[in-house]
Amino acid sequence: MAHIFMTGGTGFIGTHTLAQLSQENHTVSVLVRSRSRWEHICKGLGWSDSTDTNSRIRPVIGDLGMPGLGLSHADREEVLSADVVIHAGGPMDIRISEAEARKVFLQAAEEMLQLAADIQLRGGLKHFIHVVGFKSPWTDENRHNPAPIIAHLEQGPPYELMKCLADLRIREGAQELGFPLSIVHPSVVIGSSLHGETPQTGGLGILVRATARGLMSIVPGGSTHWLPLVHVDHVASFIHLLTKEASPPSTQTYYLLDDPNVSPSMKELVFMIAKELRVSTPHGSISPKWLSTLLGTSLGQKLGIPKESLEFIVKTNTRFPLEPKESLLHKHKLTNKVLGEMLPFTIADLDFQLGHGHMPTEGFVRGKRGPLASLERSGAGRRTTEEGLLRSDTSIQPKSTLLFVHGTLSGADCLLPLAAQFPEHDVCLVDLPGFGRSPYHHAADVMEGHIAALVEAIRAFDRPVTLVGHSLGGLLAAHAYARVPERIHRLHLLQPALQPAARMYRSARLNHLALRRLREKDLRKQLLAQRCFVDISDIPTSYVTYVLQELQSPRVRKTTAETLSALARAEVLPPQQQAELLRRASILWGTQDRTWALAEELRSARVVEIEAAHHFPISHPELTAQLLRQQGL
């Protein structure tokens, strides 16, 4: 097994690459700026309690922008024993200053070459893997006459200039020092092919943000251009494959992008984004060159779209040498294509990230169940990592997974304090279609689309689940139980919306207008007036912030408006379904709710009344958990 030195290990690509490398018996030294950052990464990857992984993969404290990479003498000695180097460090910020770009790219390249030279003196560097953007123009033919290309690059942003100069310098250094070099050129990196999570919002996220703000009435490039994309886990797996190469070529370049003939054009991509964000589609197209000129003016700067972002849009007839990539993937029987069905999840996730920023989900990781995005955590003795790796203690008897479903003006994140009360259980919280991180279902019937999506999510589990639904989620859980009772171990309804909502919500258009104008003061006033909470002190500040940020999204705003309208028009459950609920469901009911009522025919020994308001699972998570346990999980 190899000893690998890696930069960029705490970044978007880097963390996924580390997860891949951890599956082998490699020793990995990872350059990190601080130990606290490393501990955060380890927790996210599920390594906190893994003695084996922590002994093989460890941090060395330093900084790409410092002389000697800022390594201590002891750490440098450790790094000099590496036989494979992965250089994937550097910020993803296309508007970075020239001075900063020079330091973190070009100067860092010189430091990495000095390190490679020292490793060569110790015993030989077997492989240097450099990860740099796909717009780098260098080939074995043109790098011997770089002046014309550099002159052209100097007309663009410093970010691209310095990255490309770093690529050139490392190519030159590899030839001078005689070590094998693989250059990996990922295109615009998007979320995992497993669930679409994309915390790096500077690439495709710029298009998503502009579309959400109504600034994409014309498409840059239209049908003649495209935006090459690649899943982050596919980049990571490709780097992982390269570390396995026993005899890599002296220099080889790998472009990680798909064939434009089977990829969406800019027009198709922007239309898809508009559809997922539930906004008007564009009306025409414009040359990226003309748009770049416009964005460089004072008017363009007010739009908030960096003209540098247009650098990644290329003509569909531009050809990249894909054969080396395809050959290596074929050798390992992999395809690694962008999954069209995952793009709606990526767009929804970016929409969420842009609205909320970093959301702490301590102990929970992103997942996907059927058509719904999820937050998941495995119970005591078992842990699911962000890459879907399961670590198990087989001595523990598995319990039924607790599946939580939120209500309106809510999301999976709002029920995290409740879900955290069950450390012994596998727990999954889903975002309903069009809410949180989940794409909208686009069904003709709003409620039917929600029900069908939840049923599909329930079917995605390998064992029956304990289903816990709050408010709207309670209504959907009741309908889901009627369709797949064999997939539901226990059914718990928390303040379920089993009666039609108030008539004031019947107009989706008026709902949308009201939600668009909603401000913090008005939201708090309405939450108290409608007895969602008993007292203002019961309203978590984080909840108010979450709702207001959610409603900044046109996708969530329109979905909420239509769902409220559907609730106001909903019919009560038929008698047979009510009878089945009486037999199988437990209902927790807050008696301080002034908006919703529990039908007399549903009151039974399985109903537990508590002196709380509609949102008691959010305001009183400990009490709710205690009552759920008493009802049986």
Whether 32 shows a pLDDT value over 60: the answer reads yes
The CATH class that applies to domain 359-501+572-631 reads alpha beta
pLDDT tier at 79, thresholds 50, 70, 90: very high
Q: What angle do CA 517, 545, 445 make, to 5 degrees?
A: 60
DSSP state letters, 416-469: HHHHTT-TTS-EEEEPPTTSTTPPP---SSHHHHHHHHHHHHHHTSSS-EEEEE
Mean pLDDT (whole number) for 433-461: 98
Phi, psi at 466, each rounded to 5°: -95, 110
CATH of 1-186 among 2.60.40.1080, 3.40.50.720, 3.40.50.10260, 3.20.20.60 = 3.40.50.720
Whether 403 shows a pLDDT value over 80: the answer reads yes
pLDDT tens-digit profile of 462-495?
999 999 999 999 999 999 999 999 999 999 999 9
- For residue 605, the model assigns a pLDDT of 65
Whether 296 shows a pLDDT value over 80: the answer reads no
- Tokens for 467, please give them: 């289903």
Per-domain boundaries in the chain: 1-186, 359-501+572-631
Whether 286 shows a pLDDT value over 90: the answer reads no
Whether 77 shows a pLDDT value over 60: the answer reads yes
Whether 45 shows a pLDDT value over 90: the answer reads no
Whether 392 shows a pLDDT value over 50: the answer reads no
1-186 and 359-501+572-631: identical CATH topology: yes
Confirm if 106 and 172 have CB atoms less than 8 A apart: no
pLDDT tier at 235, thresholds 50, 70, 90: very high
Residue 391 has, within 13 A of its CA and on its CB side, a CA count of 19
pLDDT tens-digit profile of 506-561?
999 999 999 999 999 999 999 999 999 999 999 999 999 999 999 999 999 999 99
- Percent of the chain exceeding pLDDT 90 equals 75
pLDDT tier at 303, thresholds 50, 70, 90: low
Whether 292 shows a pLDDT value over 90: the answer reads no
pLDDT tier at 385, thresholds 50, 70, 90: very low
Mean pLDDT (whole number) for 159-183: 95
- For residue 3, the model assigns a pLDDT of 95
What's the mean pLDDT when you consider all of the chain? 91
- Tokens for 411, please give them: 């999301």
Q: Provide the 8-state DSSP code for 265.
A: B
- For residue 482, the model assigns a pLDDT of 94
Question: How many other C-beta atoms are found inside a 10 Å radius of the C-beta of residue 218?
Answer: 13
pLDDT tens-digit profile of 575-629?
888 888 888 899 999 999 988 888 887 777 689 999 999 999 999 999 999 999 9
- For residue 388, the model assigns a pLDDT of 45
Q: Which residue has the tokens 């908006």?
A: 595
Confirm if 4 and 84 have CB atoms less than 8 A apart: yes
Mean pLDDT (whole number) for 49-63: 82
Mean pLDDT (whole number) for 401-419: 98
Where would I find the H helices in 57-157?
73-79, 98-101, 108-122, 147-153
Mean pLDDT (whole number) for 51-78: 90
Mean pLDDT (whole number) for 112-130: 94
pLDDT tier at 394, thresholds 50, 70, 90: very low
- For residue 287, the model assigns a pLDDT of 85
Map residue 145 onto helix, strand or coil: coil
